[in-house]
C-alpha cells in the first residue's frame, strides 16, 4: 500500500441506477423518493427499456416484515458455488455457508437467491444509456408451467434466456418480448420472455468492454466476506427497503395491470 492509499475511502460503485423485477405484475421498476420524501416504485412498460449485459454476480436479498429488517449477504461470483455466503438479518449474521447448505434456512426469513446483472441500460424512446444493475430473483428466473402435470418450467425467464443465447460468444441487446403466466400453488407469477438481438456495433462493443473493466475492478474489491460500508449503510436504511417489501416477501396482489398494451411514459418522466 502506498503512503496516500491509506486515505482512500474504498472502492466506489460505478453503477448509477438499480432496477428490480416485480414477479406479480411483470415489470421492471426502480425506487425513488417522492415530494413527501416517501419511497415509491416507478414501473417501466415492457417496450421502454433494453439492456446489454456486461457481467453479473450473486447475492441474497430480501425483507423480513416480522422484524422490519433487510435480509442481505456478501457478493459471490456466479460460478463460486462452494464459496461461503454470510447472510445477515439487519446487522446480525443469521446463516453462513455455501448457498446449497443454507438456502432453506434463509428462505425462512424471506431471503432470496438474487443474480445481479450489471448492464448498459438504454431508454428506447431517447436512446439515453447508463450503467445499471438489474436484480433478478423469484419469477424473473422462471416459474412452473400451470398447464404441466409434472412441474415442467416455462420456456421463459432469465435462466431460460441464458440457456438459449450464447452470451460467451456474443453481446446482446436484451428486452422483454412478452409475459407468460406461471404458478406455484395458488400464487400466480408473470414470467418475462426475454429476447436478444446480437450487437454488431463495434464502437458499442468497445464501450461495453471498457465498462466491464471498470465494473470488474470494483467487484474484485468487494467480493469478499466482509461487508462494505455501502452495504452496511443500506442495511440500516429500512425506510428504503420497506419500499420493496411486498415484492421481496412474495406479495400476491397488485394494483398494476400490465397485460394490456404498454403505456407510453412521457419523456420527462423517464429515469434517464
Residue 62, H or E segment: strand 49-64
When pLDDT is cut at 50, 70 and 90, the band that residue 207 belongs to is very high
- For 27-41, the DSSP string reads EEEEEEE-TTS-EEE
When pLDDT is cut at 50, 70 and 90, the band that residue 225 belongs to is very low
* Torsional class of 250: left (φ above 0), alpha (ψ -120 to 50), beta (otherwise): left
Q: Is the pLDDT of residue 211 over 70?
A: yes
Beta-carbon contacts of residue 253 (< 8 Å; ≥ 6 apart): 24
Per the domain annotation, does 2 fall within a domain?
no
Please report the sign of the dihedral spanned by the C-alpha atoms of residue 185, residue 106, residue 241, residue 224.
Answer: negative
Cell, residue 184: 406455484
Helices (H), 8-120: 99-107
Query: Domain range spanning residue 83?
Result: 10-260
Q: Residue 43, Cα to own-chain centre: how many angstroms?
A: 14
Q: Is the pLDDT of residue 195 over 80?
A: yes
What distance in Å separates the CA atoms of residue 237 and residue 136, rounded to the nearest whole number? Answer: 21
For the chain, what is the radius of gyration of the CA atoms? 19
When pLDDT is cut at 50, 70 and 90, the band that residue 248 belongs to is very low
Mean pLDDT of all residues in 201-214: 97
Per the domain annotation, does 270 fall within a domain?
no
Per the domain annotation, does 196 fall within a domain?
yes
- Return the pLDDT at 81: 78
Contact, 120 vs 129, CB < 8 A? Answer: yes
Beta-carbon contacts of residue 217 (< 8 Å; ≥ 6 apart): 11
Per the domain annotation, does 267 fall within a domain?
no
- Return the pLDDT at 133: 97
Per the domain annotation, does 5 fall within a domain?
no
Mean pLDDT of all residues in 222-241: 56
Contact, 69 vs 238, CB < 8 A? Answer: yes
- Return the pLDDT at 246: 46
Per the domain annotation, does 246 fall within a domain?
yes
Residues for the chain: how many in total?
Answer: 272
Q: Are strands 76-77 and 39-43 parallel, antiparallel or unpaired?
A: unpaired
| pLDDT tens digits, 47-68 | 889 999 999 999 999 999 999 9
pLDDT top residue among 170 and 240:
170
| pLDDT tens digits, 120-143 | 999 998 899 999 999 999 999 998
| pLDDT tens digits, 59-115 | 999 999 999 999 999 999 988 878 889 999 999 999 999 999 999 999 999 999 999
- Return the pLDDT at 253: 35
- With a pLDDT cut of 90, the percent of the chain lying above it is 54
Per the domain annotation, does 102 fall within a domain?
yes
Contact, 70 vs 238, CB < 8 A? Answer: yes
- Return the pLDDT at 257: 33
Total tally of structural domains belonging to the chain: 1
State if pTM tops 0.75.
yes
Contact, 91 vs 70, CB < 8 A? Answer: no
pLDDT top residue among 269 and 153:
153
Q: 3-class SS at 217?
A: helix
- Return the pLDDT at 86: 93
pLDDT top residue among 31 and 57:
57
Beta-carbon contacts of residue 45 (< 8 Å; ≥ 6 apart): 27, 258, 262, 263, 264, 265
Mean pLDDT of all residues in 166-193: 90
Kindly report the backbone phi and psi dihedral angles of residue 224, in degrees, each rounded to the nearest multiple of 5, phi listed first: -160, 175
Identify the weakest region by mean pLDDT among 4-8, 16-20, 180-184, 197-201.
4-8
Q: Is the pLDDT of residue 243 over 60?
A: no
Amino acid at each position: 500500500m502506498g503512503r496516500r492509499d491509506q486515505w482512500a475511502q474504498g472502492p466506489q460503485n460505478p453503477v448509477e441506477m438499480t432496477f428490480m423485477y416485480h414477479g406479480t405484475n411483470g415489470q421492471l421498476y426502480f425506487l425513488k423518493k417522492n415530494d413527501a420524501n416517501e419511497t415509491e416504485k416507478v414501473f417501466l412498460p415492457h417496450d421502454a427499456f433494453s439492456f446489454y449485459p456486461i457481467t453479473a454476480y450473486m447475492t441474497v436479498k430480501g425483507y423480513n416484515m416480522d422484524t422490519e429488517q433487510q435480509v442481505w449477504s456478501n457478493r459471490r461470483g456466479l460460478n463460486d458455488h462452494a464459496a461461503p455466503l454470510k447472510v445477515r438479518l439487519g446487522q446480525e449474521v443469521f446463516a453462513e455457508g455455501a448457498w446449497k447448505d443454507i438456502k432453506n434456512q434463509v428462505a425462512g426469513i424471506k431471503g432470496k437467491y438474487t443474480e445481479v446483472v450489471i448492464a448498459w441500460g438504454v431508454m428506447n424512446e431517447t436512446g439515453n444509456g447508463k450503467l445499471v444493475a438489474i436484480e433478478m430473483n423469484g419469477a424473473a428466473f422462471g416459474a412452473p408451467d400451470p398447464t404441466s402435470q409434472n412441474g415442467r418450467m416455462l420456456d421463459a425467464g432469465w435462466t431460460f434466456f441464458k440457456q438459449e443465447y450464447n452470451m460467451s460468444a456474443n453481446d446482446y441487446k436484451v428486452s422483454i418480448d412478452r409475459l407468460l403466466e406461471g404458478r406455484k400453488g395458488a400464487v400466480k407469477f408473470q414470467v418475462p420472455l426475454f429476447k436478444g438481438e446480437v450487437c454488431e456495433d463495434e464502437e458499442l462493443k468497445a464501450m461495453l468492454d471498457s465498462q466491464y473493466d471498470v465494473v470488474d475492478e470494483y467487484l474484485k474489491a468487494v467480493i469478499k466476506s466482509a461487508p462494505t460500508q455501502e452495504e452496511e449503510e443500506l442495511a440500516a436504511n429500512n425506510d428504503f427497503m420497506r419500499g420493496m417489501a411486498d415484492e421481496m416477501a412474495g406479495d400476491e396482489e397488485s394494483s398494476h395491470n400490465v397485460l394490456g398494451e404498454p403505456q407510453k411514459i412521457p419523456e420527462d418522466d423517464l429515469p434517464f
